[in-house]
């Protein structure tokens, strides 16, 4: 028996599996190197920079994104360990994944990290994180996540079908900071983008602000009109002097100075201005009520809220119908906007971190148990239990999140008293004609 046969004899399934994984990785690396020659670099459009600026300069956009992101960041994420029986148990506080979820992005708090993911997703339609394992230092071998601004990330994609991302490239101020980052080192969560482009635009997320691009043009126009009108409203009109042009030119400077001196004197407030000569007056501008821009702005703001799946009632707007109550609008905020965002974050973290923690079967979940708007009304639940003809004590205590004592009768089914047969009460039965009574 040769040496090769000696080491291959009785080879365990685990060794064979590792060999298979290694060969697969080497094959993928060879394919990636070969594909780099046939790749196209997809650069972020100028709109990504415009989206970030829009968030910082348009109060309506900031208000909506800030509300959703702040609400979502208030809901915590926890790490659970899945046992052989499928049950989930809380991961210890010193567990590596649990500690990572306490500070997801390097340099950011837990709240700020979740806020950054949500706000970036709502602005740019995607968020990215770089997975990094330090080779030295106190965090040696531990996964660290770094926030990557989408406007600074280029992607290299294949030229043929199916389109795939071969590598990422991080650029800052035109300088390539990191090149050829493998997709396995990047967590990339994005909205569905149906636009198929020659440079792989469909592999980037579709920004909600792109959907709103035309409406935001009108929002800007309305703001410009109202601002100019308010500024122009300070000038009630133009006072001009009639007569010969040469004479008007000669008196213009003196007339202007006299007028300024008169109105700048506080003692003349409310007093009429008297002047010699033939003067004319031209009234400037229109009243804001005549322009009806306020009603148009309300319509535009409702449409902005529709795209982000929230009610404008949350922004102190008047509401009618079923949303006249703030509670229904708050519930809609969670069910239509916040929870879908949290699910995207959960799924992206689970997919991106699964390979980094192969020793345990982890499960990442968000916890909404402390959100009042999502809890069942206690009175309604009590009424529902009281209407049932049977009662199981353990289920009732569990529903109200109360401690369940150790008692052999706690899981038994109890039939509520008060129901007896009419004939058992000894009362005469009514005569319906179907039988003869004595």
CA distance 394 to 413: 10
Indicate if the pLDDT at residue 182 is higher than 80. yes
Q: Is the pLDDT of residue 80 over 70?
A: yes
**Cα–Cα nearest to 309, from 278, 332, 279:** 332
* Residue of 204 and 17 predicted with greater confidence: 204
Q: Which residue has the higher pLDDT, 141 or 78?
A: 78
Q: Which of 174 and 32 is assigned the larger pLDDT?
A: 174
pLDDT at residue 14 is higher than 70: no
* Higher pLDDT among residues 196 and 323, named by residue: 196
Surface-to-core class of residue 239, CB atoms within 10 Å of its CB (0-12 exposed, 13-18 middle, 19+ buried): middle
What are the angstrom distances between the C-alpha of 52 and each of 14, 105, 155, 294? Answer: 49, 20, 19, 26
pLDDT at 18 over 80: no
Mean pLDDT along residues 219-245: 68
Predicted confidence (pLDDT) at residue 191 exceeds the cutoff of 80: yes
For residues 364-380, average pLDDT: 84
Note whether 124 and 130 are within 8 A (CB). no
Q: Is the pLDDT confidence value at 109 over 70? A: yes
pLDDT of residue 8: 47
Which of 133-142, 239-248, 255-264 is modeled with the greatest confidence? 133-142
Confidence of residue 111 (pLDDT cuts 50, 70, 90): very high
C-alpha distance from residue 17 to each of 14, 21, 24, 184, 232 (Å) = 5, 6, 11, 20, 77
Q: Is the pLDDT of residue 320 over 90?
A: no
Confidence bin at 422 (pLDDT 50/70/90): low
In this predicted structure, the answer to whether residue 44 has a pLDDT above a threshold of 90 is no
Q: What is the mean pLDDT of residues 101-119?
A: 94
User: Residue 49 — very low, low, confident or very high, per pLDDT cuts 50/70/90?
Assistant: confident
Helix (H, G, I), strand (E, B) or coil at 313: helix
Burial class (CB in 10 A: 0-12, 13-18, 19+), 293: middle
Order of strands across the sheet with 39-42?
Answer: 39-42, 153-158, 165-172, 175-181
Nearest CA to 241 out of 274, 271, 278 is that of 278
More confident call, 429 vs 58: 58
- Looking at residues 167-172, what average pLDDT do you find? 93
pLDDT digits (tens, 9 = 90+) for 322-364: 545 577 889 999 999 999 999 999 999 999 998 888 777 889 9
Highest mean pLDDT: which range of 26-35, 57-66, 362-371: 57-66
Closest to 131 in 3D by CA, of 111, 103, 105, 167: 105
- Which residues, including other chains, have CB under 8 Å from residue 151's CB and lie 6 or more apart? 44, 48, 49, 51, 52, 124
**pLDDT in the model for residue 306:** 94
User: Six-digit token pair at 62?
Assistant: 């900031």
Q: What are the Cα distances from residue 103, in Å, to 314, 322, 357?
A: 30, 40, 17
Return the pLDDT at 1: 43
**Residue 275 CA to its chain's centroid (Å):** 64
- The first and second tokens of residue 153, run together, are 């990330």
Torsion, Cα of 284, 288, 293, 297 (10° steps) = 130
Q: Is 4 left (phi over 0), alpha (psi -120 to 50) or beta?
A: alpha
Least confident of 34-43, 255-264, 394-403, 407-416: 34-43
- pLDDT at position 227 over 50: yes
Is residue 366 over pLDDT 80? yes
């Amino acid at each position: 028996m040769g040496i090769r046969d000696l080491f291959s004899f009785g080879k365990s399934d685990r060794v064979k599996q590792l060999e298979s994984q290694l060969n697969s990785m080497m094959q993928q690396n060879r394919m990636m190197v070969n594909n780099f020659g046939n790749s196209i670099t997809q650069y972020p459009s100028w709109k990504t920079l415009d989206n970030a600026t829009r968030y910082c300069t348009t109060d309506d956009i900031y208000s909506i994104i800030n509300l959703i992101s702040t609400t979502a960041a208030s809901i915590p994420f926890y790490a659970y360990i899945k046992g052989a029986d499928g049950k989930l148990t809380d991961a210890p506080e010193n567990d590596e994944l649990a500690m990572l979820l306490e500070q997801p992005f390097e340099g950011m708090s837990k709240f700020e990290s979740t806020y950054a993911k949500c706000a970036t997703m709502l602005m740019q339609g995607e968020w990215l994180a770089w997975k990094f394992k330090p080779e030295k230092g106190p965090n040696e071998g531990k996964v660290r996540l770094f926030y990557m601004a989408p406007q600074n990330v280029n992607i290299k994609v294949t030229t043929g079908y199916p389109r795939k991302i071969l590598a990422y490239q991080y650029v800052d101020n035109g300088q390539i900071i990191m090149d050829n980052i493998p997709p396995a080192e990047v967590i990339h969560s994005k909205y569905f983008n149906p636009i198929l482009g020659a440079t792989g635009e469909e592999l980037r997320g579709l920004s909600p602000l792109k959907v709103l691009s035309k409406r935001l043009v009108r929002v800007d126009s309305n703001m410009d009109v109202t601002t100019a009108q308010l500024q122009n409203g300070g000038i009630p009109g133009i006072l001009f002097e009639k007569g010969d042009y040469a004479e008007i030119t000669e008196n213009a400077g003196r007339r202007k100075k006299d007028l300024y001196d008169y109105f700048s004197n506080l003692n003349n407030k409310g007093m009429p201005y008297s002047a010699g000569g033939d003067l004319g007056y031209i009234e400037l501008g229109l009243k804001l009520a005549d322009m009806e821009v306020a009603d148009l702005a309300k319509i535009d703001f409702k449409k902005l809220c529709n795209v982000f799946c929230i009610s404008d009632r949350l922004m102190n707007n008047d509401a009618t119908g079923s949303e006249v109550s703030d509670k229904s609008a708050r519930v809609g905020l969670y069910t239509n906007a916040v929870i879908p965002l949290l699910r995207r974050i959960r799924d992206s973290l689970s997919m991106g971190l699964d390979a980094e923690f192969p020793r345990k079967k982890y499960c990442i979940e968000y916890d909404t148990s402390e959100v009042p708007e999502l809890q069942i009304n206690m009175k309604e639940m009590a009424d529902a239990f009281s209407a049932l003809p049977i009662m199981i004590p353990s289920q009732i205590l569990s529903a109200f999140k109360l401690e369940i004592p150790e008692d052999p009768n706690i899981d038994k089914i109890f039939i509520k008293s008060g129901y007896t047969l009419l004939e058992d009460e000894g009362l005469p039965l009514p005569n319906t004609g179907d039988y003869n009574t004595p």
